Amino acid sequence: MSSNLATKLREGTQKAHTMAENVGFVRCFLRGVVEKNSYRKLVANFYFVYNAMEEELERHRNHPVVSKVYFPELYRKATLETDLAYYYGPSWREQIAPSKAGQGYVDRIREIANTQPELLVGHSYTRYLGDLSGGQILKGIAQRAMNLSEGEGTAFYEFDEIQDEKGFKQTYRASIDEAPVDEAMADRIVEEANDAFGINMQLFQELEGNLVKAIGQMLFNTLTRNRRRGSTELVTAD
């Protein structure tokens, strides 16, 4: 049985995907403007989100629909723990908490897991395929922007158990096409995936204020240094 769910998800989320990429925080990130404090808050939110999603995927791994996206090699919780230890230190668990949008994301995952587990497919598709598709590019941007050494703070983008990313994505899409869903449920899964993009946008938007302040402070510091340098040069010239 084939539901063409993979195609419906790809085509049905194109607009939401484009909108998410145009959120200020994401546009800055893609252009190489990444502020470490804002980024580590995003990593912290992701930790709570992926922890919830992976717990629910495990709980429903034998569900006829959810089982089609049961790929533990995609799980990100352990990699996020590694990154959090880098950004916050060994006591990271005591220092982090989900933001308002992050908690809303977690609550939504828990809600559908208890009422309509099939919709977890929409969340798995939105996050994991995005992570897998752009992981190496985003890793490189993060490393350059935050002056990170190889292996520092970017474990989230590493999928050590997946050697052929393109081949894996084909396997993933073929698997969800086998999900026993009717047209109505397929439409609901696509709708949930679009909602997931929307919640991700809220996560990014929460960080924009911090990013703008950080960029403003960096510009102020640069201008201040230049002015001081100029004053010193004038005194030396006299």
Choose the weakest-confidence range: 28-32, 193-197, 212-216: 212-216
pLDDT for the residue numbered 136: 80
> Residue 215 burial by CB count (10 A; 0-12/13-18/19+): exposed, middle or buried?
middle
Mean pLDDT rounded to a whole number for the chain: 89
Distance between CA 66 and CA 176 in Å, rounded? 9
Chain segment 55-101, per-residue pLDDT in tens:
999 999 999 999 999 999 999 999 999 999 999 999 999 999 999 99
Model confidence, pTM: 0.87
Select from 3.40.50.2000, 3.10.105.10, 1.20.910.10, 1.10.3720.10 the CATH code of 5-210.
1.20.910.10
CA 31 to chain centre: 17
Cβ–Cβ contacts within 10 Å for residue 114, how many? 10
